[in-house]
Amino acid sequence: MKISVNKIQIIRPESNPKKSSLNLNVDWHVDFMEKSRSSMEYSCFIKTSPEYPIDFKINGIVGSENLKEENKIKSKDLKDLNTILPGIIFDNSLNIMLNLINLTKDVNISINRSNQYLKDSLAKKNSIKSNYTKINPCLNY
């Protein structure tokens, strides 16, 4: 079985929490919609507590060779799949959400003349200018 992510949406507070540890109460649910015989679309919704409110949503696809046929084989397996799959999607979505929060936190960068990034960008900018050739806008037919 293959689970893929197609779309991610996160709405987070402007400022980061001041505490080094934070308890997040999480409400979540996963909705499924059959797409074809071999796949289902899912939407995972996560909402956190008022202490640090985050609204997060992931849309994706769960696929298999033939989901319908696999499900017809044993009804117990289908029940297990319906029980297990939302938890697997939630765990994956929660990890993605936490990584995005870490990526979008405030970062302080000091820029000075000796900064290597600044030197590299200026060198790249100058090389682009030197490679520029003037194009004559008149076309001859």
Global pTM value: 0.65
Question: Alpha-carbon distance 96 to 107, whole Å?
Answer: 20
User: Which among 20, 4, 139, 126 has a CA at the least distance from the CA of 62?
Assistant: 4
**Bridge partners of 4?**
61
Question: What pLDDT band is residue 23 in, cutting at 50, 70 and 90?
Answer: confident
Cβ neighbour number for residue 58 with a 10 Å cutoff = 23
Q: Which residues is 32 bridged to in the sheet? A: 42
In whole angstroms, give the CA distance from residue 97 to residue 103: 10
Q: What is the pLDDT of residues 101-130, one digit of tens each?
A: 888 777 676 666 556 666 666 666 555 444
pLDDT tens-place string over residues 66-104: 555 554 544 455 556 778 899 999 999 999 998 888 887
> How many Cβ atoms are within 10 Å of 46's Cβ, its own excluded?
21
CB atoms within 10 A of CB 67: 20
Structure token pair of residue 77:
């397996």
Of all residues in the chain, what percent are helix, strand and coil, respectively (each to 5)? Answer: 35, 30, 35
> Can you give the pLDDT at residue 49?
86
Spell out the domain ranges in the chain: 2-103
25 versus 81: the higher-pLDDT residue is 25
127 by DSSP, 3-state: which? helix
